[in-house]
Structure 1
Amino acid sequence: MRKVKDGGPLEDRDTWLETIMDKYGERLTKLAYNYVKDWKLAEDIVQDVYITCYKNYEKIDEIISFKSWIFRLAINKSKDVLKSSAFRKVVMNSSLFTLFTSKELSPEKDLLKRSEEEFLSMCVLTLPVKYREVITLYYYEECSIEEIKGMLGVNQNTIKTRLSRGRVKLKKMMERWGYDGEQA
C-alpha cells in the first residue's frame, strides 16, 4: 500500500490512491456533506482531498495517523468552502439517513427506522458546525475523543463539552418537534 523507500514506480502511487479512495471515499464524502449539505459539493471536496494526498505521497511516511490526517483535510477543505464567497446556498432537501444502510428488517420496521434516522439526521444537520462536527465524528464515524482532538486540533475537554452540549441541543430539538424516543 505504501511506496517503496527508493521512490518506487508511479503505479505504486496510483494503487495507493485507489486503496485510499476505496477505504475512505464514502466516509469522507459523508463528512464533507455534513458541513456543506450539498452532495455534489461534498464529492468535489473529497476529490480535492485526493489531489492533496496524491501530491503528498512522498511525505506519507511522516504522517503519524493517516486517518486523522485525511479526515482533517476533509474538514478543513469543507470549512474553506463554507467561508468562501462562492458558497451561497444551503441544500436541506437530502439527508444523512439515505447514506446509512440498515440490516434486513420487516418493511414496517424498516420504514419506522428510516423515518427516525431521517429525523435525527435532519436535527444533526441543523446544529451549529462546532457541535455537528463532533457529533458526526464521534457517533457516525466512531472516532475516539483522542482521534477527534487530532482531527480538529481542539482540547479534549472542549470536545467533551461540545458533545454534551450537542446532545442536549439535539434532545431539546427532538422534543420540540414531538419525538419522545419511544418505540411504537
Structure 2
Amino acid sequence: MRNVKDEEHFEARDAWLEAIMDEYGERLTKLAYNYVKDWKQAEDIVQDVFITCYKNQEKIDEIKSFKAWIYRLVINKSKDVLKSSSFKKVVMNSSLFSLFTSRDLLPEMSLLKRSEEEFLSRCVLSLPVKYREVITLYYYEECSIEEIKGILGLNQNTIKTRLNRGRANLKNMMERWGDDGEQA
C-alpha cells in the first residue's frame, strides 16, 4: 500500500514526464520520422524513449545535457528499428516538414509555400542518413555544432563536412528536379 510520500513522488514524476513530453514530443517525433519515414513508427519510438526517461528519472541529474541525451535515445532507437528485420516498408507519402504551416498567408501563397516545403522535405529525406541527420538537427532543430557533437558523438569537423556535403547534395538534387518534384 502506498503512503502519502510515495503518492507525492509519483505525482512529481508524472508531472516531470508530462513536461518533457510537452517540450520535446513533437520535435522528437519529427526527428524519428526523419530516420524511419513512417509517422506511426516514429510516434512508437518516441513513446519508448519517454518510457526510458520515466524509468531513469532518478538518474537524470547525472546526465550532462538532457537534450543531447534524449535526442541520442531517439536516434539510436530509430536506427535500431531500421536495422530490425521486421522493418521493411518505407513511407514517403507524408512529408517530414509538412507540419510547419504558415499563418496569415493568402491561400495561393500558402499552397505555394506548402509545395516548396514538401519538395524540400522530399529532397532532405532522400539524402543519406549521415547527411540527413546533421541537416535536420542543424536547420530544423536549431542545434549548434557543439550540441550536434554531443548528440551524435562526432568530431566537429566531421559535422561541418557533413553539413557542407549535405547542403551541396540538396542543391544538386533541387537543381536536377523540377518544381513539380519530377526529375528534369
Using the size of structure 1 for normalisation, the TM-score is 0.91
String of CA shifts for 1:121-180, please: whole Å, max 9, x gaps: 00000000000000000000000010000000010100000000000000000000135x
The two structures, once aligned, show a CA RMSD in angstroms of 0.9
What is the 5 A alignment of 1:11-160?
11-160=11-160
2:168 aligned residue: 168
- 1:5 counterpart residue number: none
Q: Matched residues, percent identical?
A: 82
The one-letter amino acid of 1:140's match is: Y
Distance 1:145 1:62 in 2: 23
1:3 aligns to what?
A: none
Amino acid corresponding to residue 83 of structure 1 in structure 2: K
Moved over 6 A (4+): none
CA distance in structure 2 between the partners assigned to 1:100 and 1:130 by the alignment: 24
Q: Secondary structure at the match of 1:16?
A: helix
Post-superposition offset of 1:103: 2.7
The answer to whether the 8 Å contact 2:149/2:156 transfers is: yes
SS of 1:85 mapped into structure 2 = coil
**What is the number of equivalent residue pairs in this alignment?**
172
What are structure 1's unaligned runs of at least 5 residues? Answer: 1-7, 180-184
Amino acid paired to 2:39: W
User: How far apart, CA to CA, are the structure 1 residues paired with 2:69 and 2:55?
Assistant: 14
Gaps of 5+ in 2: 1-7, 180-184
Give TM-score scaled by structure 2 length.
0.91
Q: Helix, strand or coil for the counterpart of 1:127?
A: coil
